[in-house]
């Protein structure tokens, strides 16, 4: 006769007692957390820095210009500082909190720019050319709600001057 089995084959075999799992040391937990974080960084698809950054379309006398938006105190303060280049039909639209006399300077700005100050009616008040790395104030000729900076001479080569209407401001800012 065969030896009697300790368990019936129609039943599951007894499970062994679970092994005692030792808690992880703080050092090992830190290493695992760092490894997991690095894995997410390496395996996550990266979106490259936009060049140009998020831009919006403007038109002035039929000429297209794509502008970045500077509508907070920090973005207005930094503006186009430390940029080494600007696309041919690119610029920055400064949106001020309220219409007032405005002035721009070129501290830490590496490229020559032209600035057009724009009133509440969307018309250019005046245009000033500005040289890099200077602290000269370039002021609006009246109360400006906007300013548009672009490459020096952009307005002049397109025969755009005071009184020209800037189209697209309402779509960008939600105001006239």
Domain ranges of the chain: 56-173
Tokens of residue 100, six digits: 């007032």
**Residue 56, strand partner residues:** 67
CA–CA separation, 74 and 64 (whole Å): 26
Mean pLDDT of 83-96: 96
**Residue 135, strand partner residues:** none
Rg from Cα positions in the chain: 31
Mean pLDDT of 100-127: 97
User: What is the number of other CB atoms lying within 10 angstroms of the CB of residue 60?
Assistant: 22
Is the per-residue pLDDT at 46 higher than 80? no
Mean pLDDT of 119-142: 98
Mean pLDDT of 107-128: 97
Which band of pLDDT confidence, cut at 50, 70 and 90, is reported for residue 43?
very low
Nearest CA among 56, 104, 116, 50 for reference residue 80: 104
Per-residue pLDDT at 23: 72
Q: Are 109 and 79 in contact (CB under 8 A)?
A: yes
Distances (CA, A) of 116 to 28, 45, 77, 104, 150: 59, 40, 17, 10, 9
Per-residue pLDDT at 51: 38
Tokens of residue 15, six digits: 């499970």
Q: Which CATH architecture describes the domain 56-173? A: Sandwich (2.60)
**32 or 176: which leads in pLDDT:** 32
Per-residue pLDDT at 32: 63
Predicted TM-score of the model (pTM): 0.70
CA–CA separation, 97 and 99 (whole Å): 7
């Amino acid at each position: 006769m065969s030896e009697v089995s300790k368990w019936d084959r129609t039943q599951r075999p007894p499970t062994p007692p679970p092994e005692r799992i030792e808690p992880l040391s703080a050092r090992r937990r830190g290493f695992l957390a760092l490894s997991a974080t690095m894995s997410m960084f390496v395996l996550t698809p990266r979106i490259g820095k936009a060049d140009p950054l998020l831009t919006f379309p403007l038109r002035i006398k039929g000429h297209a210009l794509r502008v970045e938006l500077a509508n907070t105190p920090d973005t207005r303060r930094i503006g186009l500082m430390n940029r080494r280049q600007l696309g041919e039909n690119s610029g920055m639209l400064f949106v001020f909190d309220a219409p007032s006399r405005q002035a721009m300077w070129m501290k830490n700005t590496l490229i020559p720019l032209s600035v057009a100050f724009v009133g509440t009616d969307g018309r250019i008040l005046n245009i000033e050319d500005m040289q890099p790395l200077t602290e000269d104030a370039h002021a609006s000729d009246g109360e400006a709600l906007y300013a548009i900076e672009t490459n020096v001479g952009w307005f002049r080569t397109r025969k755009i001057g005071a009184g020209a209407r800037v189209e697209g401001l309402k779509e960008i800012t939600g105001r006239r």
